[in-house]
Amino acid sequence: MRTVQIYIDADACPVKAEVYRVAERYGLKVFVVANSYINVPRDPRVERVVVSDGFDAADDWIAERAGPDDIVITSDIPLADRSLKNGAAVIGSNGVPFTTSSIGMALASRELMSNLRAMGEMTGGPKPMAARDRSRFLSALDEAVQKIRRHPS
């Protein structure tokens, strides 16, 4: 059985420290994928991957590698969709897992918001992370690891 690997879409990920804690607890490999240099812990299980600054380069790198028994951490809905199609578990940085039954609505909402922004109807970004968001994220990540370990593909 291959061990669980975690892929972080890291450029704007606010929960990297939480991922490192869970990965250390379970002895999991973590790939921190970004378009620029990001500090990572000095741990042989944590690998920094700097990709080109091309459009979706980090997403493409993750989507080409993540599969069953892996976990992808991203707030990028198209990457979440690609990762789910490859059989990976996907968790948003807010702690809400993406699932095959929720991804269609997430993609539709993303498209709607994009259209509203294009018309000048929406401004601002996502709300800041709260303590409960971090707690929900830790719980969701721990649950995903446990589920994969109990029922590997």
> pLDDT tens-digit profile of 88-127?
999 998 898 988 777 766 656 656 666 666 777 666 666 6
The rounded mean pLDDT for the chain is: 87
Cβ atoms of 12 and 126 within 8 Å: the answer is: no
- What's the confidence (pLDDT) of residue 117? 67
Sequence-distant (6+) residues with CB within 8 A of 47 are 29, 30, 31, 32, 40
- What's the confidence (pLDDT) of residue 75? 86
pTM metric for this prediction? 0.85
- Tell me, what DSSP letter sits at residue 114? H
Task: Name which residue leads in pLDDT, 18 or 111.
Answer: 18
69 has a pLDDT exceeding 80: yes
CATH number of the domain located at residue range(s) 5-150 in this protein = 3.40.50
| Residue pointed to by tokens 């800041």 | 128
Domains of the chain, residue spans = 5-150
